[in-house]
Amino acid sequence: MIDSKNPNSPIGPGAAIGVLGSGQLGRMFAIAARRMGYRVHTFSPDYDTPTGQIADVEVVSPYDDLREVANFARQASVVTFEFENVPTATAEAAARYAPVRPKGSILHITQQRIREKAFLRRAGLPVTPYREVHSLSDLEQAVFELGCPAVLKTAAFGYDGKGQFRIESPDRMAEAWNAIGREEAVVEAFIDFEREISVVAARGQDGQFVHYGAIENQHSRHILDISIAPARVTSEVAAQAVEMTSCVLETLGVVGVLCVEFFVTRNGKLLINELAPRPHNSGHLTVDACVTSQFEQQLRAVCGLRLGSTEMHRPAAMANLLGDLWANGEPDWTAVSAFPDVKLHLYGKLEARPGRKMGHLTALNRDPEEAYRMVLNARRSLTR
């Protein structure tokens, strides 16, 4: 086995890859890694997790138990993470004993909206007009400057719409401030956008950059609902999104996978909404649609290997399966299996709850519009 403790040496099959976090992203990463002959160790406060069910070793411990984090990192040739809300101190503790990729400083920037937006502005990249908010008086001034409607978002630990409040009128500012727990936040101008897109990309240790093009995203209740690839945007918009994504990865010095989410305004302008320094829900369709999935790409990048081809076999559409589908009993898996060009992915979560991501479907077709229709019909069949 290659000497993987040398940070400049490629890490070959047989090595142990440490994953901080244990959700569905880690599960799909572990599947890709084990297929290529790697061992996977996962670390999180939970047990019998989506990642732990696939991993060779599941360590159950709080993220702030830095002694246990150190023991975990000692057993790994490299450490990565599958969600960005891992504490920075945890990444720093792991980095004393194994390379952490992407590095902890990137995690520090992208897990907090104020730091993330400041980075994007310094890089000269377009963001939604916003103001920092540390108090109710800050919020009142921000809404006065940006107008209504506006969106108040907690600075940290927000995802799938959590920690957000849409302010329709100035008389709701106090309600909004209380609703997010009176925490440090940002308030953003409301953007009347045409659609949302994302670009999932990877950067290797040698600076090699690959991407999956622009992917179109539709949300429901602030949770990603449908993704369509390629996105239904002009080639110019798609190219600009890829160029901006390349700038983000290069400026941050990312080694791994990162997703950039964009608003496309009605006049075709791109605004960066947020960054995710890891594989992304909108990239799940790459597992079935592309030569190299986003999860294998993450593995290749963090192990210092050449990145794989992102060529698409066929256009694709993905639909999330939320816990709501279980409201009246087990979904009809027999019905969905009758769709020959639709792939089912379930995450092994033990309890279905409303809004919880339990799995997804991916439909493949030469026509992306037909793939979109297919995945919707397949999902409807689960509860008929």
Quick one: pLDDT at residue 281? 97
Q: Give the list of residues 6+ apart from residue 129 with CB closer than 8 angstroms, or none.
A: 146, 188, 189
Cα(255)–Cα(140) distance, integer angstroms: 40
Q: Give the type of residue at 320.
A: N
Mean pLDDT along residues 351-368: 97
Q: Which CATH class is domain 16-100?
A: alpha beta
* Mean of pLDDT values over 328-346: 97
| 8 A C-beta contact, residue 200 and residue 294 | yes
Q: Where are the domains of the chain?
A: 16-100, 129-189, 193-381
Going 55 to 58 to 62 to 68, the CA torsion angle's sign is negative
Residue 161 in tokens? 């719409």
Per-residue pLDDT of 151-183, as tens digits, reads 999 998 766 556 789 999 999 999 999 998 999
Nearest residue to 261 (alpha-carbon basis) of 378, 160, 373, 361 = 160
- Cα separations in angstroms, 258 against 23, 176, 201, 209, 230: 17, 31, 6, 11, 18
Mean pLDDT of 244-251: 98
Mean pLDDT of the chain: 95
pLDDT band at 370 (very low <50, low <70, confident <90, very high): very high
Q: Please state, for a pLDDT cut of 90, what percent of the chain lies above it.
A: 92
Under 8 Å between Cβ of 231 and 282: no
For residue 15, count other CB atoms closer than 10 A to its CB: 20
Q: Which CATH superfamily is domain 129-189 in?
A: ATP-grasp fold, A domain (3.30.1490.20)
Q: For 193-381, CATH number?
A: 3.30.470.20
- How does pLDDT run across 208-228, given as a tens digit for each residue? 999 999 999 999 988 999 999
> CA-to-CA distance for 2 and 230, rounded, in angstroms?
38
pLDDT band at 377 (very low <50, low <70, confident <90, very high): very high
- pLDDT digits 0-9 by tens, 23-44: 999 999 999 999 999 999 999 9
Token digits for 379?
Answer: 């999902």
User: 39: helix, coil or strand?
Assistant: strand
Residues β-bridged to residue 152: 165, 187
Q: Each residue of 6-26: pLDDT tens digit?
A: 666 899 999 999 999 999 999
For residue 160, what pLDDT is reported? 57
Q: What is the pLDDT of residues 263-292, one digit of tens each?
A: 999 999 999 999 999 999 999 999 999 999
DSSP per-residue string spanning 179-237: HTTS-SEEEEE---EEEEEEEEEEE-TT--EEEEEEEEEEEETTEEEEEEES-SS-HHH
The CA-based diameter of the chain, rounded to the nearest angstrom, is 64
% of the chain surpassing 70 pLDDT = 96
Query: Which of the four pLDDT bands, split at 50, 70 and 90, describes residue 384?
Result: confident
Q: What is the pLDDT of residue 162?
A: 67
Q: Which residue has the higher pLDDT, 162 or 256?
A: 256
For tokens 């302008």, name the residue: 269
pLDDT at 3 over 90: no
Q: Is the pLDDT of residue 4 over 90?
A: no
User: pLDDT of 92-150, one tens digit each?
Assistant: 999 999 999 999 999 999 999 999 999 999 999 999 999 999 999 999 999 999 999 99
- How far apart CA 364 and CA 285 sit, in angstroms, is 9
Residue 300 to residues 85, 129, 307: CA-CA distances in angstroms?
23, 36, 6
Question: In this predicted structure, which of 4-8, 123-127, 227-231, 232-236 has the lowest mean pLDDT?
Answer: 4-8
Kindly write down the DSSP assignment for every residue of 136-148, as one continuous string.
HHHHHHHHHHH-S
Left if phi > 0, otherwise alpha if psi is -120 to 50, otherwise beta: which for 327?
alpha
